[in-house]
Amino acid sequence: MSSAHDGRRSLDITRSRPFTVIIREKIYMKTKVLKLIVICMLAGLCAGLTLTTAYAQNAADQAPQLLIKIRDINQLMSDIEKLTPPDQGPAASQQIAMLRGMLQGTDWIDPGRSIVAGMVTGGPETRWIVMIPFLTANPNFQMAYGAIAGEDYYMTAFPPQPGFVLGPGVKEILLNASAAATASDLVVEAAASEFLTVAGPKFAAAIQNRAASQAASGGQTVMNAQETQAMLDNFLATFKQVKTLRLGLDLSDTFFTLQLDIDALPDTFLAGLLTDQGDNTRLAGYQTESPFRFRTRSYNVSGMMQLMGSGLGQVYRQMGLDFEELAEMTKSFTGEMAGGMQLAPSGTVYEMVYVFQPGVDGRAFIADVYLPWFERYNRQMAAFVAQQSGQPLATIYERTADSTVAGTKVIGVKTNFAAMVPPGAENTPLLTDGQQIFETRLAAVGDLMLITSDDARMEKLVATVRGLQDAPAQGPMARFDMDLGTFMADLRNMMPPGTAPPTWPNDLGRVTMQAEMHNGNLATRTRFNIDDLSKLSAVFSAMAAQQTGTTPAATAEAAVTSPPAAADTPTPQEQPAYWYDQGGLQSAYGAYTAATRSYRKAVELAPRYADAHFQLGVAYGELRQFEAAIQAMTRAIDLEAGQGAYYYGRGRVYLLADEEEQAMRDFMEAGFRGHPDALAYLKDAGVVLE
């Protein structure tokens, strides 16, 4: 089946659901529109800039330097509302009511197309043009804001400017942007090189004014005026290689995802950097169980150091980090690396593996290049800290005894840094006399450089890497993930003696960041679990309230640490079947967001309720949250692997996500279990099961 507005395919799993999916228009009566527009346009986009706003009756017909796209604004605002702290609920409701009145309601806005706002700057004039697609005309809105009416859209200047003239070029850009699919609920897109032509002088003036003000007040500055100007010039020159900069925000019941994309101008240095080299991976078989983990495939790491140095080199050079030197040194590496880290009572434990370029002598590199650089950096950093603090530092770098581990020579280094801790916390387990100590062990094994925190870890790592084989490049270009639960537990263990640590949630998940580079494009996605953010927010609110002695502290802490009182007789709301039926009813009427909440409640009450997991996956699939859908359906399969409907449903999700190979595997598995829809699909595809 398809939506009445967007033509997207639906899951259409009618034989595996308790209710028939009804074709519906996803129009949500929750009015939260103008609030987001105002925040994004006036606060988010123009932060730090002082732009003179003027509106002309005859606007120049030029491409907008900034675009905002808001996909299905009612759903987005509904998701944002869920993140509003309970104690701010009444205020939020009042704002929503006010915004509803300003917009003359929201049920007339088409959720199948994006609301788009474009910022056009020409000479001294800066203006916003807002395009709002509608399902039904709203004459009251048009009259109130002096909007120009199209066949199924309004366009207006922002703030409202009755009688403004809209050029055909701007109109076409906004209409095309509204109809185009977007990967996030909210996207801010800047034509970076064009925008800097206008905004660059304003950036320069703001930075110079700040530096001059700080110098006049007698405050310490890291750089003088000439160095500041050189850094700014280099930064702007680098940024002008960016064709498009795209920031996005995506919300669901489960995940909060941040998007950062960069499209480089063709034939620039940046475009050459943002290209997948497609080399084999050397570390595909290496895994670490550390709560902090990172991994990259091969890329031009030396070029990336050059790029960073051109924009920020002046700042970091003051702290002993010379990017030109780094760029030269990293020519010895392919850019592929992996490793992990954990905070422990005995100190920071870590392991890292770096891949050398072919022909590099790893042992000679460590002895003749890396160690001299490492010592210089630490001593320069110490001098910088001493200069800024006015306090001399003790020895911060020293060689420790070398060793032989698993037949491999291991070089030892120790660094001591003054720890920045609150008074009375100087003797925490990780500190000795106010010093934070890092033990480092280095070794070269073939074409790999290994760095660990101790010889025991080095021994295991040497044994692991000796068994690694080259493999075809796979997975994202870079990935970082952090286990929040373990991190919070480690922080609790680091609290000074006698300190009452907060009660951290023990069921936190992971924060992940992935990056891809392809043909001059960088795409990154950072994802948080919304439940984790809510739990942490409650803890921090409780801590803040305790410090100020306010009443909400007890309430917030109780919400995190105290389980609900058990009732003698379970109410219907305490039964998983109740929430399962609620989810089915909500799905039948197309309220899939509400259905996910109900099914999640069912599986919270009954974690082994396989069909509830599956129906949760179906609801996520209808919302096109494919990753969450696959995760839920996979859990159902883990619990009841014999259900052909589960494989068929997951196959449909894979198909919608354009993962046809995975989809076919599930369809065949469902077919082997006799699922009729799977058999029909395979027959149409010309697949005959033996």
Of 290, 412, 398, 299, nearest to 351 (Cα)?
290
The total of other beta-carbon atoms located within 10 Å of residue 116's CB is 28
Q: Which superfamily, per CATH, for 14-21+568-684? A: Tetratricopeptide repeat domain (1.25.40.10)
What pLDDT is recorded for position 141?
A: 85
Burial of 30 (0-12, 13-18, 19+ CB in 10 A): middle
**pTM, 2 dp:** 0.65
What pLDDT is recorded for position 429?
A: 43
What pLDDT is recorded for position 626?
A: 92
Please compute the mean of the pLDDT values over residues 642-670 and round it to a whole number.
89
Burial of 497 (0-12, 13-18, 19+ CB in 10 A): exposed
Does the structure show a pLDDT above 80 at 132?
yes
Does the structure show a pLDDT above 70 at 680?
yes
Does the structure show a pLDDT above 60 at 89?
no
Q: Band of the pLDDT at 199, cuts 50, 70, 90? A: low
Q: Which helix (H) or strand (E) holds 10?
A: none
Provide the Cα torsion 368, 374, 375, 376; round to 10°.
Answer: 100
> What three-state secondary structure class fits 233?
helix
**pLDDT-wise least confident of 5-19, 42-56, 476-490:** 42-56
Does the structure show a pLDDT above 90 at 457?
yes
Of 28, 40, 131, nearest to 623 (Cα)?
28
The token pair at 252 is: 């669901």
How do residues 583-630 score in pLDDT, each as one tens digit? Answer: 887 776 667 888 898 899 999 998 888 889 999 999 999 899 999 999
The token pair at 171 is: 């109109």
Does the structure show a pLDDT above 60 at 44?
no
More confident position, 656 or 535: 656
Q: How many residues does the chain have?
A: 690
- CA dihedral (574, 580, 583, 585) positive or negative: negative
Contact 314, 506 (CB under 8 A): no
Q: How many CA atoms lie within 13 A of 534 on its CB side?
A: 15
| Phi, psi angle pair for 419, to nearest 5° | -85, 140
Q: How far apart are CA 210 and CA 336, in angstroms?
A: 40
The token pair at 253 is: 């019941």
Does the structure show a pLDDT above 90 at 500?
no
More confident position, 522 or 197: 522
Does the structure show a pLDDT above 90 at 446?
yes
**pLDDT-wise least confident of 193-197, 346-350, 397-401:** 193-197
What pLDDT is recorded for position 211?
A: 57
What pLDDT is recorded for position 123?
A: 52
What pLDDT is recorded for position 53?
A: 33
Where do the structural domains in the chain lie, given as residue ranges? Answer: 14-21+568-684, 33-190, 276-475
Please compute the mean of the pLDDT values over residues 25-45 and round it to a whole number.
32
**pLDDT-wise least confident of 175-184, 330-339, 453-462, 556-565:** 556-565
Q: How far apart are CA 548 and CA 224, in angstroms?
A: 41
How do residues 342-369 score in pLDDT, each as one tens digit? Answer: 887 767 899 999 999 999 999 999 999 9
Mean pLDDT score of the chain, rounded to an integer?
A: 75
Burial of 259 (0-12, 13-18, 19+ CB in 10 A): buried
How do residues 502-552 score in pLDDT, each as one tens digit? Answer: 677 777 888 899 999 988 999 999 988 878 877 777 777 676 666 555 444
Does the structure show a pLDDT above 90 at 420?
no
Q: Band of the pLDDT at 412, cuts 50, 70, 90? A: very high
